[in-house]
Amino acid sequence: MRKNKISITSILKWVFIGVIIFILYLPIIIIFVLSIDSSKTGNTFSGFTFDWYIEIFTNRSLYMSIITSFAVALMATCISAFLGTFAAIGIHALSKKVKSKVFLLNNIPVLNADIVTGISIMIICSFLVTIIPNLFGYRTMLLAHVFFTMPYVILSVLPKLNEMDPNLYDAATDLGLKPMKALWTVVIPAIETGIISGALLAFTLSIDDFVISYFTSGNGVQNFSNWIYVRLGRRNFTPAAYAYSSLLTFVILLVVLAPQFKKSNKKGDLQR
Amino acid sequence: MKHFKYLSIPYIIWLVILVVLPLLAMLFLSLTESDGFDFSTIKFSFSNWASLFNTAYLSAFWNSIKIAGISTIICILIGYPISYIISTSKLKNKMALIMILILPMRSNQLLRIIAWEKIFYPTSIINSLGISLDLIGTDFAVIFATVTIYLPFMILPTFTVLEKLDKSYVEASYDLGVSRIGTFFKVTLPMSSKGIMSGIIMVFLPASTGFAITERLGGGKIIMIGNIIENFFKRSFNYNMGSMVSLVVILVIMGAIVLLSKFDKEGETLI
């Protein structure tokens, strides 16, 4: 009797998780349905089409915004991963007391509301516009993206630095390597996984960003999310945006989930 | 490696410039009246701050707290049990299941909001399934969308702490004769409070300051503080009032960050 009761509650548990997974994926399914719906407004389903997938490559303003998203995300990721790693090594070397203060500062861009981060960078740049005209655009967007992604790289690298055997570096310098050389040949390989997961996180956050880019771009430069936002409900909106997003989501699902099912559970490498 | 300390200095300067300087600029703007960033007609005034208690702003603040608060509570009630079920299960590949739950947030957030908008109008693609909803402009629509968008932010930190939790404490509690429910409330829950705290902040802060969800699903009836700020900075270009409202929001956020740092010193539940 008791055994039977346990199995019912355990079924209910998994049904609960199943329902939640369904609700979380429903918007993605809806976007996919809209991407193959021939109706331009997306208010009714009027038949299958793949035209919107072709339009991704023919609608100039759309594919320019997609290129902008990728260009900014790639550049921001490289800069954040590179500078963030060195900043993390520096923070790791600080005394405990100073470290906790730097952590507090480092967490501000992570926890701060996107709208506040966006406005902060926008205001700083607006003051600079008098010196550098037409500043708003790629440069301001890149600055903002580096600003909000770098703390994530640092948060991913620091635990790896804590795990690393501190004697590793001392051994390298004792064997005659110069500090920078030792850093490059011994420390960086030891914290590599942290750098890679931090960079991946930076890239995914940057490419999807809407709010921060909305406030910091300008002069006609738009990333994909901004492109959608200003066109919603207007005639120049096209379901090709749904098509592109469905493709991208599919690729992300594949890239992230495939290795998860290949190798068995590897603890510790949590990724957002 | 102690001599690499100096590598942190440029980063600290960078953070101070980009975090502290904008705050000072906002304080300056909020205490003045100017024509955008044209300061030729600038004059100091307290009128921006005096209008803080305008009912329009107060109700926007209240809406933000109410909607984000209810959404956060629902996220705890759904997210924590999910983390608990998965972490206590005998599944081999727990991480893969967590990944499946987390992944939707890697899909474009704005489009996921639009997906709900598309089916919340009476005429929609789900009419062909015989369903017609009329939810635009209701609190339900906004809260529902907020929960679906931010739930992964609650699952991840709570799962992280539950996985790291030393199971021998739980076993010790059982051995000492405490019931399953008693053990949960006396051992598991207090030991995972750090994750819940991170989750609350990671859901509540973006949920209360966003503007896209209310903009698309609020039907112009539900105004949150994010909509007010967006309006000042991107539509009416009143940077002085915008700065004043933003500063109030920032004060609340700073309080939350300091509060979190008491729980999670190294930010390990943030990623």
SS3 content of chain A, % helix, strand, coil (to 5): 75, 0, 25
pLDDT band at A85 (very low <50, low <70, confident <90, very high): very high
Averaged pLDDT score across all residues of chain A: 84
pLDDT greater than 50 at residue A272: no
* C-beta atoms of A232 and B216 within 8 A: yes
* C-beta atoms of B234 and A215 within 8 A: yes
Domain spans, chain B: 53-263
User: Residue A271: what pLDDT?
Assistant: 45
Q: Is B50 exposed, middle or buried, given 0-12, 13-18 or 19+ CB atoms closer than 10 A? A: exposed
CA dist., res. B152 & res. B98, Å (int): 9
- The ipTM is 0.85
* C-beta atoms of A27 and B104 within 8 A: yes
CA dist., res. A129 & res. A127, Å (int): 6
pLDDT greater than 70 at residue A262: no
Q: What is the mean pLDDT of each run of 10 residues along chain B (271 residues)?
A: 80 89 88 74 77 84 92 95 90 86 88 90 79 82 94 92 85 85 85 87 89 87 88 85 89 80 64 59
Which residue segments constitute the domains of chain A, with CATH numbers given?
Answer: 48-262 (1.10.3720.10)
| Fold of the CATH domain B53-263 | MetI-like fold (1.10.3720)
User: Residue A269: what pLDDT?
Assistant: 47
Give the pair of three-digit tokens for residue B61: 């603040």
User: Residue B151: what pLDDT?
Assistant: 94
In contact, B86 and A21? CB cutoff 8 Å: no
- Residue-wise pLDDT for A28-67, tens only, equals 999 999 888 877 777 777 778 888 888 888 888 888 999 9
User: Residue A268: what pLDDT?
Assistant: 44
User: Residue A178: what pLDDT?
Assistant: 82
* C-beta atoms of A210 and B210 within 8 A: no
User: Residue A266: what pLDDT?
Assistant: 47
- Residue-wise pLDDT for A150-188, tens only, equals 999 999 998 888 888 878 888 888 888 887 888 888 888
Distance from CA of A38 to the nearest CA of B (A): 12
Mean pLDDT of A109-129: 87
In contact, A105 and B15? CB cutoff 8 Å: yes
User: Residue A17: what pLDDT?
Assistant: 92
CA atoms within 13 A on the CB side of B219: 15
User: Residue B79: what pLDDT?
Assistant: 94
Nearest CA-CA partner of A227 in A118, A64, A115: A64
Number of residues assigned to chain A:
272
User: Residue A245: what pLDDT?
Assistant: 92
Nearest CA-CA partner of A192 in A166, A149, A156, A155: A156
Mutant choice from A7, A157, A214, A270 vs B, greatest count of B C-beta within 10 A: A270
